[in-house]
Each structure stands twice: as C-alpha cells, then as structure tokens.
Amino acid sequence: MMSNYLPTIILTAGEPAGIGPDLAIMASQMDLGCRLAVCADPNLLTDRADKLSIKLSIQDWKKQPHKQNRLAVIPVKLNRASEPGKLNPDNADYVLQTLKLAGNACLRSEFDALVTGPVQKSVINDSGIAFTGHTEFLAELSKTPRVVMMLATNTLRVALATTHLPLRDVSTQISHQLLTEVIEILHHDLHSKFGLQQPRIIVCGLNPHAGEGGHLGTEEIEIIEPVLSALREKGLHLIGPLPADTAFVPRELDRADAVLAMYHDQGLPVLKHSGFGNAVNITLGLPFIRTSVDHGTALSLAATGNINTGSLQHALAMAISMAHTQQEG
C-alpha cells in the first residue's frame, strides 16, 4: 500500500511535431497521484490544446498538487513554430534542451522521477547532432558509466544487455565486464526501485539453443555461464542461460521477476506483442527514476485526438510507484 507521500514528476513533451505535446495535455485530464510539471514550450501546449478542443490552463511550476485541466509548465522556447506532423530539424536542440533541463532538475533532487515523451531520433541526427536515444543521452548527462534499458508491462519485465546496435556488432559487445555490470544493475534496481527482496532473473543465451554446447556459438560457454556462476556465488538468483525461444514460455516466466535479453530484438518483440500500448520503458542504473512511453512520435496522429494514452498512464503510474518504493526504502 502506498503512503500519503506525493511524488514530484517532471514530464518532457518530446518531439513538438508528434503526439508528445498531445500526451502532456491529456495528462492534465488525468487523476494523478503526484505533483506534475511539464517541460515544454507553453505556446506549443496552448496551441495544441486549442487544436484538440481541450480546455487548458497553464501555470508556472510551484510544486502544487496536480489538478485536472491545469498544467504546471517549466518553459523551454521552441526555435521555430511547430506544425503537427511536420518535422523541423531547427527544433532538435529544443528537444534536447527539455531533456537536459529535466534531467539536471532530477539530479538536483528537485523531482522524484522523469517521464519522457517520444522523440524522433532521425530529425535530431538530421540537424547535425549525434543522438542515439534517451537512454544514452541521460547516461551521458548524469555521467553514469553503465545504464540498463528495461521495458515492463503488468506481467513481464525485459531488460537488455545491449540496446541500439547493428546485429553484427552484438556478439563483440557481450563481454564479462558488460554482462556483470548489467546484471548487477538489474538486480540492484529490482530491489531498490521495485521492492523485490531477492529478484529472480532469467538470462537468455546469445545463440540459438543457447549455443547448443558450443556447436552454435561459444559465447555461452566462454562468457555468459562463467559470469552467471560468479554472480551466483555473490547471492544473486539467476536462471540460465536459457534458449531465447523457450525463455518466455509460462513455466519459465512464472519463476522469474525479469528476463535479460542479449539484444534489442531478442526480447522486445515478445514484450511488445504481449503489451504494446501498455508497456513502460525504464532506464535502470541512473541516479534518478526515468520511465517513458513505449511508442514513437506518431506524426500522422498529432493534433487529431485519436491517440491511446495507455502507455503514458502506465509510465506515470510506474514512476509514481517507484518513487514511493524509494521513499519507503
């Protein structure tokens, strides 16, 4: 049961031409158990609210309790006026400024958690700014040497050993050091941010059939199994390495709290098949809580009102729950 503590959450509205501003505005309609601030251009929000025919009052952030039809805003000015559905590289820096401001505010402990709206990586890179994603940006901002990407639904948590890499590069990145650090971060945050006293983690193999005794690859024998053995000696509850094609069957998931996949498309298709639109992207290892929606900018749906807010609601609820767990811990 949650305490009466009211967490403070900062929400970045993401790509201004996408549905991120719509989601921020729709958050004003929700009954939230937190104090919420949105980091965005106030004029963008009021203009989008008009297009959506939503009554919206903008106010400065003063840590007041969330109220419906009202958004507390920490302002960042757009570089160029934004049109729904039309990307403009001139606003790439605006997007990153919202992330930087929000991340630094969390580092100063002004907020309990950061929730991020969707960004368009391509337009940021088109502007001449190297950008891999939220996860990597926030790791660099906070000077965190290793972070872990995890997506979660109500029934499944999937973390990744590697994230946004070409498939041909994955095997060279799976090392003793990387895998050890990733599993230790996953174990630590499942305990500290999710309240699991002894997290049980399934670890997938890299190769088909988990290498089949070395006949389909040797990474399991040379790297994964030795790492798991060493961490078990430290008291971690680890299952595997299991073949990825059977790691997600009910009899395995019933005995685990999370699954660690070796690469992006090994684990996330399963999770998104079971809960797309209701999943939450979580960055573990940061010195603050960060959750995000599990979908993209949906440019064609911006300002139409025809969007699903389920992932945003889950991202906010997850951040609030994690903040309570940390407060109580």
Q: Which pTM value belongs to this model?
A: 0.91
pLDDT of residue 32: 85
Are 62 and 160 members of one domain? Answer: no
Q: Please tell me whether residues 177 and 241 are part of one structural domain.
A: yes
Asked if residue 192 and residue 124 are part of one domain, the reply reads no
Q: What is the CATH number of the domain that holds 213?
A: 3.40.718.10
Q: At what angle do helices 42-51 and 20-27 cross, to 10 degrees?
A: 80
Q: Are residues 69 and 102 in the same domain?
A: yes
pLDDT at 63 over 60: no
Same domain, 215 and 235: yes
Number of domains, the chain: 2
Of the three residues 249, 277, 305, the one that is the final residue of a domain is 277
Query: What domain range is 138 assigned to?
Result: 1-144+286-329
For 273, counting Cβ atoms within 10 Å of its Cβ (0-12 exposed, 13-18 middle, 19+ buried), the class is exposed
Assess whether 29 and 74 both reside in one domain.
yes
**Do 184 and 254 lie in a common domain?**
yes
Q: What is the mean pLDDT of the chain?
A: 93
Same domain, 45 and 89: yes
Confidence tier at 65 by pLDDT (50, 70, 90): low
Q: What is the pLDDT of residues 262-282, one digit of tens each?
A: 999 999 999 988 887 788 999
CA distance 24 to 26: 5
Judge if 24 and 136 occupy the same domain: yes
- Give tens-digit pLDDT for 129-188: 999 889 889 999 999 999 999 999 989 999 999 988 899 999 999 999 999 999 999 999
Predicted local confidence at residue 3, as pLDDT: 65
Same domain, 84 and 128: yes
The model's pLDDT over 186-231, given as tens digits with 9 standing for 90+, comes to 999 999 999 999 999 999 999 999 999 999 999 999 999 999 999 9
Residue that is last in its domain, among 277, 297, 313: 277
**How many residues are present in the chain?**
329
pLDDT for 1: 47
What is the percent of the chain where pLDDT is above 90?
A: 83
In this structure, the answer to whether residues 38 and 92 fall within a common structural domain is yes
| Same-domain pairing of 4 and 135 | yes
- Cα separation, 236 vs 124, in Å, equals 40
